[in-house]
Amino acid sequence: MVKHEKFSNKLSAVFVAAGCSVGLGNIWRFPYVVGENGGGAFLFVYLIAIIMIGLPVMISEFVVGRSTGVGAVPAYRKLGGNKWKLLGYNSIVTSTLIMGFYYVVAGWTAEYFAISVTGELANYSTAAEYKDLFANFVTNPWKPILYTWIFIAANHVVIQRGVTKGLEKVSNILMPIFFVILIIMAINSLMMPNSLEGVKFFLQPDLSKITPTVILQAVGQAFFSLSIGLGALVIYGAYMPKSNNLRTTAMQVSFLDTIVAIIAGLIIFPATSSVGVDPTSGPALVFETLPMIFNQLPFSMLWASIFFLLLMIAAITSTMSLHEVGTVFLMEKFHIERSRATYFVSLSLGLLASIASLSMGVWNEYKLFGMNLFSLLDYFTANITLPLGGMLTSIFVGWKMQKSLFIRELSNNGLEPFNLYRSVYFMLKYVCPTIIFIIFLNGLGLF
Ligand code: TRP
């Protein structure tokens, strides 16, 4: 059995896990989903989803990881037998598929950072021009692939260095920089004229706007944003020393993830309201609408550069985690060393991401269920395998795993008693599986 390294201290554990959770999901996906789903009402449901569903599932993944000390596949096998190993495989498949499109978007952030620094982004002005720029870029046959590979190469170097020298070191440097940039950007947005409109749209819940779709989208976004349901947090649980308090770590990580999403909203909505555009442009919001807004500010390219730097940092700390999941799987399964496993993961993911990138342009005509590969990967993971993983994780911990082991892990062998465990257990046993099941059916398009 492969013996894994452990995080060297509690703060690093929080930074690495928060780096995994905080990603493009917070800055790119969250604002556009809020924009499309009624603003404050969505935020309200989202916060409830994080506390009621996200947090218990995150705690579960940490418990499964730390109690076994291994990655998702052997961890579920150890605790639940061969059948439950499939849940581990679901994680591996999901993270591989997520990487297929996530790396492509990560590549876009690198491209936009580059054209902000060179000033090329300032050469356009109207909404239509920014739309064209984005469309031309993502459909270009080689540019996005080039940037994707640069991103993969950077991840490759980090993952090869291992847990303490790679993941931990990079997260400890990047996460603080990330927070500083995030706050500077939010202050800048809040100082724009008419910013209050956007703040109101985002923070003032109009409860009449809560619809079943809003609830489903909010829970789905909570899963994606916290990185739960696909084994990444199982392996990070395995890296946590026995002295770490798993509840506290899970609370800190979800708190950071949520606060980043909220601050990202405070960057984007005041900016859109200040120029009077609707924040409903979907996935193109940060690539089309924001550059147009930046271009109207003094020092426009400076703002654009630091914003895309922010996105790049968000992306890299998450892709690192996804890369790590695949690498650990190969190390454990085939008993190979980290360095070889990393090569294998980098090359295969590079290939998958390149195909996904081409599916946006020259291969756009090849469709399955009416979607190109890129959209299919996004749709299939967000609506099917992620909820499935989350649902099975909560069922596993609520019904299959020994209750005494769960309590022992959560209370650090009784040293740090936990009074709320009954509520967490109740959520995992009944509430989480039921709600996620409904979402799952909806994802399958059944209603
Ligand atoms: N949470 C990440 C984000 O918000 C995306 C993500 C989902 C992820 N599952 C993951 C990242 C697993 C790393 C590992 O962008």
pLDDT of res. 357: 86
**36-45 average pLDDT score:** 93
- Residue 125 gets which letter from DSSP? -
**How far is 434 from 37, CA to CA, in rounded Å?**
23
Determine the Cα–Cα distance for residues 298 and 321; give it in Å rounded to an integer: 37
- Residue 447 burial (CB count, 10 A): 7
* Interval between CA 224 and ligand 1 midpoint (Å): 6
Does the pLDDT at position 41 exceed 90?
A: yes
Model confidence band, residue 73 (pLDDT cutoffs 50, 70, 90): very high
How far, rounded to the nearest angstrom, does the alpha carbon of residue 15 sit from its chain's CA centroid?
14
pLDDT of residue 58: 96
Model pLDDT, residue 361: 76
pLDDT tens per residue, range 267-310: 999 999 988 888 877 777 889 888 988 988 889 999 999 999 99
Q: How far apart are CA 413 and CA 45, in angstroms?
A: 35
Distance 378 CA to ligand 1 centre (A): 12
Q: Which of 98, 158, 258 to mutate to test the pocket of ligand 1 (most atoms within 8 A of CB)?
A: 98
Task: Compute the distance between CA of residue 265 and CA of residue 32 in angstroms, rounded to an integer.
Answer: 9
Does residue 225's CB lie within 6 angstroms of at least one atom of ligand 1?
yes
H-run or E-run covering 318: helix 300-334
> Is the pLDDT at 365 greater than 90, yes or no?
no
Query: pLDDT value at position 61?
Result: 96
In this structure, the residue with its CA closest to atom 6 of ligand 1 is 227
Q: What is the mean pLDDT of residues 347-356?
A: 92
Summary mean pLDDT of the chain: 92
Task: For ligand 1, pick from 227, 317, 349 the residue to mutate: most ligand atoms within 8 Å of CB.
Answer: 227
Secondary structure letter of residue 162 according to DSSP? -
Whose alpha carbon is nearest atom 12 of ligand 1? 227
Q: In angstroms, rounded to a whole number, what is the distance separating the alpha carbons of residues 113 and 144?
A: 13
Contacts (Cβ under 8 Å, ≥6 apart) of 176? none
| Secondary structure element (H or E) that encloses residue 76, with its range | helix 72-80
Residues 429, 430, 435, 440, CA torsion sign: positive
Tell me, using a 6 A CB cutoff, whether residue 20 lines ligand 1.
yes
The Cβ-side half-sphere exposure at 405, using a 13 Å CA radius, reads: 18
Q: What is the average pLDDT across 63-74?
A: 96
Q: How far is the CA of 196 from the centre of ligand 1 (A)?
A: 31
Model confidence at 1: pLDDT above 70: no
CA distance 298 to 294: 8
Q: Within 10 Å of residue 334's Cβ, how many Cβ atoms?
A: 10
Give the Å distances, CA to CA, from 358 to 45, 300, 349, 361: 36, 31, 14, 5
Whole-model pTM: value is: 0.93
pLDDT at 446 over 70: yes
Query: pLDDT for 107-158, tens place per residue?
Result: 999 999 999 999 999 999 888 899 999 999 888 889 999 999 999 999 999 9
For the chain, report the end-to-end CA distance as a whole number of angstroms: 45
